[in-house]
Amino acid sequence: MRRKTVRKAVSMMLASALVLSSAAFVMAEEETTEAEIETEAEEGEVSEAIAQFDGLEAAEAYDFPIIVKSFQSTYWQAALAGMDMAAEELGVTYKAQGPNSESDIADQVNMLDSAINNGPLGIGLAACDTTSVLESLQNCVDQGIPVIAFDTGVADAPEGSIVCTVATDNTQAGQVAAEHMYEALKDVIAEADGQVRIGEINQDATALNIQQRGLGFIDKMIELITEDGKTVAVEGNEFYVDHCTDKGDAETADVIIEVAVPTQTTVELCSTAAATILSKEDTIGIFGSNQTSAEGVLAANSNLNYLGTDPANGDVIGIGFDAGSVIKGAISDGIMYGAVTQSPLMMGYYTLYALTAAANGQELIDVPTDGYWYDAETMEDELIAPNLYD
């Protein structure tokens, strides 16, 4: 097997062009100069979280079960591409499975339980519903099976079950979306002579990553608006209303943040929820907090044509999350203002490294990854483009 420091591998990945499609996923690595490696180091000197994997070798030819949320979006294919890269470097293998939809929670739990029954030396898990996997995770503790949570953490996991979480700092990522939306809308809000509305479409209220991302956006928006002397109220989905920093008074608020969650995680149902908000005359902005919900916003707009990049001219500012050809095309065409991308490629990569280290008996710390803003002007930036999967 090849030995490679994670530092060098990360630099190569960020310098590489990643081309993904629904039929095939092709990764092309380009030559990486020492200067480029040093530039990456300066961006954030190899952190302790990444350094824990330097020099890692698999003690045996491990085969790990990977339970994803679904294969609905190309996001998961990008994560698997990262796992493929790590698997080749480490000489390990994995088998990925997931339910048809992220709403099929019971199906995912059954897959997890089946994997546990096979007694693996580690399991990778992206939980659809973090409360539904708690009993299964206790079984992992009882059997000594380490679990790596990726994409989303499990807040109330039994002690010792999740040995490492590889996930975006979702609160930070939601805040990034809010900061850019507020920058676009602050003059409209300041000059409004009546109540205005900002929508948020979250595909669910059960997955920790979506909860954190949605609340990160809401709370940062409340902070920014109130700092400029305006009042805010949050209405809509009960979870987000009850858990935000201040739900305010909808009767008197200058700005309403309306949060919608569909009954199932499909683009079609997210589109229906988005259309309801977009159709309100006071709506000035809308945020879709993952690929499915962002594509739902765009699907709703295809009939309404309210989105654009000029709020002073009456355009509704739409901000998305993740990537995919639909979102990227809408940003390039000036329909969607911009989006926040994660790095599913890197999450997948680190997940295999963490599983291998855990199976070797190594103690681990969590591996957080950032969310990055991109728009039509920055889509080709060298640290952004590799994460904009199709």
- Identity (one letter) of the amino acid at 80? L
3-state SS, one letter per residue, for 167-188: EECHHHHHHHHHHHHHHHHHHH
pLDDT of residue 9: 52
Specify whether the CB–CB gap between 118 and 143 falls below 8 A. Answer: no
Other beta carbons within 10 angstroms of residue 56's beta carbon come to 19
* Cα–Cα distance, 136 to 116 (Å, whole number): 8
pLDDT of residue 44: 45
Residue 313 contacts by C-beta under 8 Å, 6 or more apart in sequence?
A: none
Closest among 53, 88, 1 to 355, alpha carbons compared? 53
Tokens of 276: 């309801």
DSSP 257-281: EEEE--SS--HHHHHHHHHHHHTST
pLDDT of residue 5: 53
Place of tokens 């989303």: 152
pLDDT of residue 382: 81
pLDDT of residue 126: 97
pLDDT in tens, the chain (390 residues): 434 455 455 544 443 433 333 333 333 333 333 334 333 433 443 489 999 999 999 999 999 999 999 988 788 988 999 999 999 999 999 999 999 998 999 999 999 999 999 999 999 999 999 999 999 999 999 999 999 999 999 989 999 999 999 999 999 999 999 999 999 999 999 999 999 999 999 999 999 999 999 999 999 999 999 999 999 999 999 999 999 999 999 999 999 999 999 999 999 999 999 999 999 999 999 999 999 999 999 999 999 999 999 999 999 999 999 999 999 999 999 999 999 998 888 999 999 999 999 999 999 999 988 788 999 999 999 878 878 888
* Cα–Cα distance, 286 to 318 (Å, whole number): 5
- Residue 148 DSSP SS3: strand
- Residue 71 DSSP SS3: coil
Place of tokens 């990034």: 176
- The upper half-sphere exposure of residue 265, i.e. CA atoms within 13 Å in the direction of its Cβ, equals 26
Please report which residue ranges of the chain form alpha helices under DSSP H. 6-15, 34-43, 48-51, 74-90, 105-117, 134-143, 170-191, 208-227, 238-243, 267-278, 291-304, 325-332, 344-359
Domains assigned to the chain = 6-168+342-387 (3.40.50.2300), 170-321 (3.40.50.2300)
* Phi-psi sector, 196: left (phi>0), alpha (psi -120 to 50), beta: beta
**Distances from the Cα of 321 to the Cα of 32, 129, 287, 345, angstroms:** 29, 20, 8, 15
